[in-house]
Amino acid sequence: QVQLVESGGALVQPGGSLRLSCVASGFTFSSWSMSWYRQAPGKERELVAAISGTGSSTNYADSVKGRFTISRDNAKNTVYLQMSSLKAEDTAVYYCNVRRGMSYWGQGTQVTVSS
């Protein structure tokens, strides 16, 4: 069965950096696009970034362009989200996602940006 396990969330000061990881299992990882979403308290879940199966194509929400970078290591079945210049409004639970007929989600990892 498909499993997605996120890690790397933490409390970080504004302007700081953080790298999230998501380890996938249960499917042929390199064949599928992967995405990161986030959900802040009281808000809907939103797409942050996505990456194609080969890693050759990426796209980002306007709010994170130039600050976040999505990447993947197909040998390790892992997708990453490098976050820099973090702002208070980046505070959210971050989720890894893959869509294979249906949508699969990890348990999420909390990112809190606060001084």
pLDDT surpasses 90 at 109: yes
| pLDDT value at residue 100 | 85
Chain segment 64-98, per-residue pLDDT in tens:
999 999 999 999 999 999 999 999 999 999 999 99
> In whole angstroms, how far apart are CA 24 and each of 17, 46, 62, 84?
23, 20, 26, 24
pLDDT of residue 19: 98
pLDDT at 101: 86
> How confident is the model over 3-43, as pLDDT tens digits?
999 999 999 999 999 999 999 999 999 999 999 999 999 99
| Cα angle value 13/17/23 (rounded, 5°) | 125
Say what the pLDDT of residue 52 is. Answer: 97
The pLDDT value recorded for residue 85 is: 98
Phi, psi at 56, each rounded to 5°? -80, -15
Per-residue pLDDT at 30: 97
CB atoms < 10 A from the CB of 13, how many? 9
Q: Among 13, 6, 8, which residue's Cα sits nearest to residue 34?
A: 6
